[in-house]
Structure 1
Amino acid sequence: MATNAMDRRRINGPQRTVEPIYSKDTDPFASGRKDSRSLDQVRPIYMKTGPLSTQANDLSASSAAAASGSAFYEQGNIRVSCAVYGPRQGRKSNTRMGSFDCDFRYAPFSCSWKKRSHVRGADEKEISLMLEHAIAPAIRLDAYPKACIDAFVTVIESDGKSATIAAAINCISAALVDAGIEMYDSVAACSMGLWESQWVADCSQAEENVSSSTMIIAYMPSADEVTYMLQHGKTSPDQTDQAVQTCINMCTRVYAVLCRGLQASISE
């Protein structure tokens, strides 16, 4: 028997359908950089060393968790904090050289390009090793035999993966100075991205997404020594040489900002 009864177990679709609107990735360089910076200009930098809270000095001196030095580093939308502990008893008692260890972590809410967990990821462990290799050459580890210096870095907000790593290096350098660790020189870092045939300094995440190659350089200006260099993507020898020279110039500018910030913290 034929029937026109409606099957109520199904959800009837609307009578009129509309084609969905898909968002398209726009070129961040189409009308210049979003923040009106030049291609060789880094974002404004703010740095503060010592306890971030004025009430931290009221804590008990017997607190075992008190850091030897700390720093907060802000560069555009990037915000990084670092706490340095040590020098303290090392894990090996028969070494003539001290050791430097770094623990790098993203806050769960810090990244816009990847969902983060409270569990330390593989990329965070890899970045921790990168930071150790970039900072260790600047520390006088021979002055701390059988000792260990630990740095704990937390990314509060990230805007550009390569730029965040460079900001972490700058933050660690400031925290080491605040802790009174003997160093040959402070390490300044900068990142660059290759867009078409031009190198762009301190790329945001949107700019980094359209970059064909990225480069990070950690540099000691007073010693004129590159402590670490990392490049992703293919470039010609001339492009690589141009990026290295430009990145070193940017590191020198960042180094001057770090020195002024450290001098200001001493005078406070």
Structure 2
Amino acid sequence: MAANIIDRRRINGPQRSVEPLYTHVDAAADPFASGRGDGRALDQVRPIFVKTGPLSAHRSESALSSAAAASGAAFYEQGKIRVSCAVYGPRQGRRSSARMGSFDCDFRYAPFACSWKRRSHVKGADEREISLMLEHAIAPAIRLEAYPKACIDAYVTVIESDGKAATIAAAINCISAALADAGIEMYDSVAACSMGLTGARWVADCAQPEEDAASCSMLIAYMPSADEVTYILQHGKTTPEQTDQAVQTCTNMCARVYAVICRYLQDSLE
């Protein structure tokens, strides 16, 4: 009698389980054997545009007051990806006895940012997760010990997205430019780049169709002057040799992106 009792308060698993099936990747079937759709090389990122400071040339009084409240702002465009960032602080933090400052990030998608899904105005779980990623990637580059009892806040808005990993990398680059515009003391600016493994090749800065076809993706945030990786994120299964190749290629791409951002920052000072 007791053997037939079923505990309905628990989720009963199946009687038997099977090993997960992994898709076999045929190295001979290379979708990029004839090149990429937009003509880029496999290790080439999309064209980059960076602008710091207030984004609008004609602003109302309310817009002027909100722009003046922000310590720094930046607009970052990479292909179809468009990201804006506003930095506030250093300002009084929540803990009055903290010996080091804190860095907080708020990441949001615009409702129309993703072509495959209309985003809600309520902050989703993926946006909260990305916010933590950005904090972990940027915080090591900020001299937080120089801002005791203070906090620095970055508000990132994705206006248009074209590839999730590439959008996160663009957000990191945009925050770095905004922090430089705000005059925040940093050890070095952080540059980020993403890659996707399609077939047997790593492809840099994947657009959304390329990212959907990739079996693995990798994102790296890197400080080129300090030669230090601040954040690394990988989704998918790779061999140690493929991982080492992706890290080397991704850091080289970050150094190129870093040079472009620094050039724009230097031009903004003239």
1:18 aligns with none
Alpha-carbon offset, residue 146 of structure 1? 0.3
1:34 aligns with 37
TM-score of the two chains, using structure 1 as the length reference: 0.86
1:232 pairs with 2:235: yes
1:223 aligns with 226
Q: Which residue, out of 127, 130, 133, partners 1:127? A: 130
User: Matched residues in 2 for 1:239 and 1:126: separation?
Assistant: 26
2:148 aligns with 145
The answer for unaligned runs of 5 or more in structure 1 is: 1-26
User: Matched residues in 1 for 2:197 and 2:64: separation?
Assistant: 49
Q: Which residue, out of 182, 185, 189, partners 1:186? A: 189
1:93 pairs with 2:96: yes
CA shift in 2, pair 1:210/1:84, >3 Å: same
1:23 aligns with none
User: Matched residues in 1 for 2:56 and 2:181: separation?
Assistant: 15
1:112 pairs with 2:85: no
1:208 pairs with 2:211: yes
Work out which of the two has the higher radius of gyration on C-alpha atoms and give 1 or 2. Answer: 1
| Superposed CA offset, 1:193-233 (max 9, x none) | 00011000000000000000000000000000000000000
The answer for unaligned runs of 5 or more in structure 2 is: 1-29
CA shift in 2, pair 1:58/1:266, >3 Å: farther
Equivalent pair of 1:28/1:206 in contact (CA under 8 Å): no
1:74 pairs with 2:72: no
Alpha-carbon offset, residue 29 of structure 1? 3.8
| Sequence identity percentage | 80
CA shift in 2, pair 1:161/1:39, >3 Å: same
CA shift in 2, pair 1:61/1:199, >3 Å: closer
Say which SS state the counterpart of residue 164 (structure 1) adopts. helix
Which contiguous aligned blocks of 4+ residues in structure 1 show a shift greater than 4 angstroms? Answer: 56-65
CA shift in 2, pair 1:58/1:260, >3 Å: farther
How many residues are treated as equivalent by the alignment? 241
